[in-house]
Structure 1
Amino acid sequence: MESPSAPAHRGCVSWQGLLLTASLLTLWSLPTTAQLTIESVPPNAAEGEDVLLRVHNLPGNLLLYSWYKGESINSNLQIVSYVPDTQAANFGPASNNRETVYPNGSLLFHNVTLQDTGNYTLHATDKSAKSIQVTGQLHVYHGPDAPTISPSDSHYLRGTNLNLSCQAASNPPAQYSWLINGSSQHLTQELFIPNITSNYSGSYACLAHNSVSGLNKTIIKTITVSEPVGKPSLRASNATVTEHKDAVVLTCLTNDTGISIRWLFENQNLLLTDRMKLSQGNSTLTINPVRREDAGGYQCEVFNLVSSSISDPFRLDVQYDPTLPSPGLSVGAIAGIVIGVLAGVALIAALVYFLYIRKTGGASDQRDLTEHKPSASNNSQGLSDNSPKKMDEITYSSLNFNGQESKKPTHVSPSPTTTETLYSEVKKK
């Protein structure tokens, strides 16, 4: 069984707790007629320290006392209850397993955090069912934590404004100061410098100070102020080249240092092929050999972290070699095109021949007319087939066309249609 003076707690008791226990044993003998009060030791604690809520003048003959988080009696906010007769401690839902309770009613917090800051209420009941309660406060200051500087940008263009803000978690709020390159101290949380030049490049240190804890935290940020880049120019070894025979070298000229270079073709980022090579630093572009698809506008762009500039376009003229096939067509594709053309020519020739035969055949049909043979009945001489002397039969044929001239209508009867013989043939049988 524990000694009546032993505290009830969770976890180990530090040397601070042992010292506090010795002081609590002394306080236990104080007169009970004095007013009940709670004292925070220390009154302002830094985060991570141990804090004691010490009870003064706790009445005797107690049946039970309990600690609560806040200013009211609520079972959901109960930290611990303690029965002096049995020295039994029961920890409630508001406990965080860092508390130690003592027989004289004091409560010790180990390794306090900012969340422990607030009001705490002690409620005591004696054996005659009379109760008393008192509320005390616990103040936790940590900090300051490591500060941060915003915005995160470290590179600025000459002539712009520099506006930096420093922030650190601290209770009470931290006090801030700035050091630029180790000097020029500014007592402010926000640092504003208009129209900066390259002279403002360097280190910017923000110091956060907690006046209660006496602690300081510092962060350093490096700022670089850059000049805007100038417009580059482009130089070429040749402006007109022949495909598959010549090479060309393009050079980007700039007076700026600390810049990067990229190449553009027809206003788009240049896609390098196996015929293209960039020098170290990308200042020169070599195309060897040149092909007709390389013809077009070239530009180079120079840039740093805060600005960029593009050269005027240079147009490369590539002369075609008529003896070479068009690029991008294989031998099989070219052969297919030739075969297709020949097939088309053959089809057209066959169509022309068909139309010619059809036309000439129709004319021949018109010339073939029905043969006419004179009969005896039509003969004025009345010759019969029984005549001893037969006349020679004559076969003839003729091709006649009728033509009629259009005339104005008159009261005279129309003249007969004029017939013109174009072809006549007489045969003797």
Structure 2
Amino acid sequence: MEVSALLFCQGCAPWQGLLLTVSLLACWHLSTTSEVTIELVPPQVVEGEDVLFLVRNLPENLTAFVWSKGRTNRKRGIALYTVASDIHVHSDRETLYSNGSLMIHNVTQKDRNYYTLRTFNKHAETVSTTSTFLHVNLFLWNCGRFVTSSQPSIESLPSIVAEGQQVILHVHNIPENLQGFAWFKGMTVFRHLEIGRYIIGRNSSVFGPAYSGREKLYSDGSLLIENVTQKDAGLYTLRVLGTDMKSEEAHVEIQVADSPFQCCNPTTSSKLMVEAVPRYAAEGESVLLLVHNLPEELISFTWYNSMYRVPTFKIVEYHVIWNITTWGDAYRGRDTVYASGSLLLQNVTEEDARMYTLETLNVNYTVQRARVQFYVNKPVTQPFVLITDTTVNVHRSVTFTCVTPDIGISILWFFNSRNLQPTERMTLSPTKCGLRIDNVRSEDAGEYRCVVTNRAGDAKASQPVRWP
């Protein structure tokens, strides 16, 4: 239950003046500070749990601080503390602490919102304003990654697409706490470049200014483009948003050949293109970044191990006229560059699997660029399945978790040795590592197993587990 500014004033004569100021929230001048931070403990909360908004670096010499629900509606106060009188005002579901922290007990979906902490000095002036978002989960997948070094990655299928065909930009390593995502045409996330966004909770897509009518968004983050044209060639950016309101970005390049035949034989095209051979490599192997259609009358070409063309990412620059090779900061000591423009990367590791950019400069000072990605796979390890039984409001649920240390994999579920066909009572986590069945029935009894497969096709199955 929310506590209004009027409720604060009842029976509290020593600080009525302050609360009168609190009721005039529309007159406050809002300022922000980078010092005050709010940490959610736990960072992911489930319905029925308690959550602590832990405040750090509270400003000194404060007169009062106020917690409110929302970011802009300052009249939805839920808790107040005055320093001079050591008075706490909050409802039965909140506990307020003198260090600024706030505890909300037994959270529900109605508590899902932004929460804002404002602090004031003796002149009733705002010292700091800090907000954070509380997402309340129905349950948590314990097989996913909430904090990990493994960033989302995107694979163009096929790597070179012909005009008139379709391409799918397939996403790997998407976070389990996914709230939504958006696709952009280009390497930036400007509004006018937005193709569309997908909201997981609503299971719906909203298309943006860059939508052509040929794109389709999937709930796993992937983007399908049909009837591809030359205008579709170039960089694409995916931004994913977690329930903790943290975002991550990934990029991919679409290479478009001129005809259906040239995607299979890029040498028949006039466009500068790069092909990774092999596209899926094992650790320790060599990968050749094979260049097709290198422009004539070149002055030089340069390789970068990033989509950004800055000195830090420069591998090598080759001056064609003078036959001079200059290695850059990103040179690994085991690379070979050829006059044809191709680059050989030897003894590759997982860290080498990224986007590479080739930039050429001819005698007319015309610049062309092409980008390529490849993937380095370790042999997959055998997964195993964990089972968690829960009962909420008399309804029984069961969660199966496919536990694996591998990333960049696909996961399939099997029930009684058959590929599992989901029903309306079943929920799969974004990466399909978790399978939840609600309101379980007798027909759900049987053997369950999961199969993990990497990009190179290496697959392993878990031992079957029987439930119940």
TM-score, normalized by length of structure 2?
0.31
Q: Going by fraction, where is helix more abundant, 1 or 2?
A: 1
Larger radius of gyration: 1
